[in-house]
Structure 1
Amino acid sequence: MDLAETTAGLAGTALTLIPFTLSSAFYLIYWLPFHERPSHTTAAVKCLPIIFLWFFVYKQGIHRPYNRRILAGLVASCLGDALLVYKGDYFTVGLLSFAVAQSIYSLAFGLRPFKAKVGAVSGALGVLSYWLIYPGLTGVMTWLALIYIALLVLMFWRAVARAMQILVNRKFLPLALSLMAGGLCFVVSDFVIAFDKFRFSVPLSDYIIMITYYAAQLGISLSVIQMRKGKMEKDI
């Protein structure tokens, strides 16, 4: 499949993403500015775009291990979304849910190609981020934050490596860019959460966090298309 065919396929896919787009816009424009207090309804509205991505991935076909793992990562992320709405004691459990999601995504992306230089840059980014938030960490969160950042950086490294493989081997430029952007947006979203919670107040943090988060999950979800339309050298 060449670039033109892939782009045409993505244009058709856009129609199936209308529910995700509309529910994301509803949460960001209508719900987020006016509903600050935690509630079950807020959790449901926040999670709805991710639930629509479940159906998107399922529709692409879950006969391949890659697609099933992306779906599992979305489910774990959705649980984390709901828990983070309630903050307080639920923050730690929500963090653990997202740690599971990052682990599943990394498993889906695989370890080939290894791309050591990308790993080194990603690791340096993780070290810098942990160093910046460390003064605000206390107790068990000192270790949980370290573990989560390591898993987040691993996910980003593997996402970029897989995107590079797709680009070089199959020339699926839109899909490669969506996966790479998805990994990067996840890093931005989570780092803003950490900085805002543990170090200093970030202006418009709620909007930055949720816009980049929804973009991250969309970019990762779009990567299942190449598993259906094209043939990778080996199903991971």
Structure 2
Amino acid sequence: MTRKLLILFFLGFGFYYVFFFDSIDASLKMVFKLIPMLLLIGLAFSTKVPIKAPYYWLISIGLIFCAIGDYTLQWFIIGLSFFLIGHVFYIFAFQSTNVSTTPTYVKILLVAYGLFMLVWVAGSVFKSGDTILAVAVVAYMSVILMMGWTSFRTGSSLAIAGALLFIASDSILAINKFMFPVAYSHELIMSTYYGAQFLFMLSITQYFKIVQKPK
């Protein structure tokens, strides 16, 4: 099966799960949710690169943990933990690169946004009395913002865009779950989520093209 065909399958199944969710039988919803991620994992591991450097392996492993998180998110804390591990692998992937640096204005924006979300969302969870969940939310927010921060090291526009999409996806999820219902939350959360993972997979090729360019 060619790489282009796998990408077409990913786009097709992803589109179907995002926009035709209500038409999927309840017993098959998890299957259709996982198919796009399994296709991305296959695409990541089949990416042809000159050497299997850390970036290749770490992004691919991160996708695996996020796929497990997709399934286990029905038990929220467990799913959150697997996603957190996936983000840690993404951070390691980005930290293994040294193509560029994170602009100061990006650092300021990420810190400001992180503080706002911590006070607003995590603060609300703390007030509800669920301390364990609140601590988990704080840890997760901190890790995903660090992922966004370190993505700029890659010099890859795809990795950076993917990290920002992931932050957007998880922000919408948190607001929808803990603050107030967000209109079209499923479509917004899953389209940005699949988009982020797709860009991370594509960034493997882009990163190796960047580092191979003559200086």
Task: Say whether the 8 Å CA contact 2:162–2:195 is kept in structure 1.
Answer: yes
Partner of 1:141: 133
Distance 1:36 1:128 in 2: 38
Distance 1:189 1:201 in 2: 14
TM-aligned CA deviation for residue 47 of structure 1: 1.0
SS in 2 for 1:203: coil
SS in 2 for 1:231: helix
**Correspondent of 1:78 among 67, 80, 83:** 67
Partner of 2:171: 191
Q: Deviations over 1:13-52 (max 9, x none)?
A: 755411211110121233x123485x4x322210111110
Task: Say whether the 8 Å CA contact 1:16–1:56 is kept in structure 2.
Answer: yes
Partner of 2:58: 69
Task: Letter of the 2:44 partner, please give it.
Answer: V
List gaps (5 residues or longer) in structure 1: 1-11, 167-175
Task: Say whether the 8 Å CA contact 1:67–1:227 is kept in structure 2.
Answer: no
Partner of 2:162: 182
Over the matched positions of the two proteins, sequence identity in percent amounts to 25
Q: Give the TM-score normalised by the residue count of structure 1.
A: 0.78
TM-aligned CA deviation for residue 232 of structure 1: 5.2
Partner of 1:153: 145
Distance 2:45 2:70 in 1: 20
Question: Does residue 105 in structure 1 map to residue 90 in structure 2?
Answer: yes
CA RMSD in angstroms comes to 2.2
TM-aligned CA deviation for residue 119 of structure 1: 2.7
Task: Say whether the 8 Å CA contact 1:122–1:157 is kept in structure 2.
Answer: yes
Distance 1:229 1:177 in 2: 12
Distance 2:212 2:85 in 1: 25
Task: Say whether the 8 Å CA contact 1:80–1:94 is kept in structure 2.
Answer: yes
Task: Say whether the 8 Å CA contact 2:3–2:43 is kept in structure 1.
Answer: no
Partner of 1:122: 110
Partner of 2:190: 210
Q: Give the TM-score normalised by the residue count of structure 2.
A: 0.85
Distance 1:93 1:199 in 2: 21
1:227/1:116 CA distance change after superposition, 3 Å: closer
Distance 2:41 2:108 in 1: 32
List gaps (5 residues or longer) in structure 2: none
Question: Does residue 91 in structure 1 map to residue 76 in structure 2?
Answer: yes
**Count of residues in Structure 1 that have an aligned counterpart in Structure 2:** 203
Distance 1:230 1:161 in 2: 12
Question: Does residue 24 in structure 1 map to residue 7 in structure 2?
Answer: no
SS in 1 for 2:22: coil
Distance 1:195 1:108 in 2: 28
Task: Say whether the 8 Å CA contact 1:160–1:183 is kept in structure 2.
Answer: no
Distance 2:179 2:203 in 1: 34
Q: Deviations over 1:53-86 (max 9, x none)?
A: 11111111472211111010000000111112x2
Distance 2:112 2:92 in 1: 21
